[in-house]
Amino acid sequence: MFYGWWIVLGTSGIQLLAGSLWMQSYGAYAVLLQEDFGWSKTLVAGAFALTRVESGILGPFQGWLCDRFGPRVVLHSGTLMFGIGFMLFSQVQSVLAFYLTFALIAVGSSLGGFATLMVSIVNWFDRHRAKAVALSQTGYSLGGLCVPIVVFALEGFGWRATAFASGIIVICVGLPLAQIVRHRPESYGQTPDGTPPPSTKPSDVDMSRRAIDFSPAQAIRTRAFW
């Protein structure tokens, strides 16, 4: 089987972790945080809203990191931050600690999330790119089916124990999945989609693929960027 499909499977698993343990289950955490600390809905929801702002700000720098070091290195760093952030979150006692640990979780989940994963998939697929992206995204959707399990844990063991356990799961499962991800197929003697190269010269294949790329200045001038 073409290795790109293994990457799709791995990225789908990573998105399942983020979707089930955090993004889609945060509402259940929010209720318990309000009950434990007496915090307002605005304060608790505000932290989650800030993570969306963080994603937009981090995006360009994240893309540079992926190009410079490769998505696998970025995924490893993000997964560790995500997991450690979860474990620190389980120990918060104040609003400041809550926002700081939340920021660590947000940065970690972004570095180990969608944008980084798509760098690898886009490099490994041309003709089947839409299918590969869609299949990778099913992990996030399936994460919604796992939310009841998280809610059950929150009710049975408390939000602190659940958050700490979630951090361990993120690290123990997320890091092996991140290990599957590769940057460019050419580095491993393969081509996008696994199709035979049109030329015996790897440089020709690489140049044909890069011909359609945008420079940062060109990308900023496109409507799609904004």
Asked if 20 contacts 147 with a C-beta cutoff of 8 angstroms, the reply is yes
The CATH architecture of the domain made up of 3-200 is Up-down Bundle (1.20)
Q: What is the pLDDT of residues 134-169, one digit of tens each?
A: 999 999 999 999 999 999 999 999 999 999 999 999
Instruction: Average the pLDDT over 80-102 and give the result.
Output: 95
pTM: 0.83
pLDDT tens digits for range 96-106: 999 999 989 98
Q: For 30-41, what is each residue's pLDDT tens digit?
A: 999 999 999 999
Q: What mean pLDDT, rounded, does the chain reach? A: 88
Q: Name residue, tokens 């886009």.
A: 122
CA of 153: how far to CAs of 32, 38, 156, in Å? 12, 22, 5
Tokens of 169: 């799961």
Helices of type H across the chain: 3-18, 26-37, 41-69, 71-89, 95-111, 114-124, 129-157, 159-180, 202-210, 216-220
Long-range contacts, 147-156 (Cβ 8 Å, 24+)? 147/20, 147/24, 147/25, 147/28, 149/20, 150/20, 150/21, 150/25, 150/28, 151/25, 151/28, 154/28, 154/29, 154/32
Contact present, 114 and 62 (Cβ < 8 Å): no
pLDDT at residue number 108 = 93
Q: What local confidence, expressed as pLDDT, does residue 142 receive? A: 93
- Read off the pLDDT band of 189 (50, 70, 90): confident
Extents of the domains making up the chain: 3-200
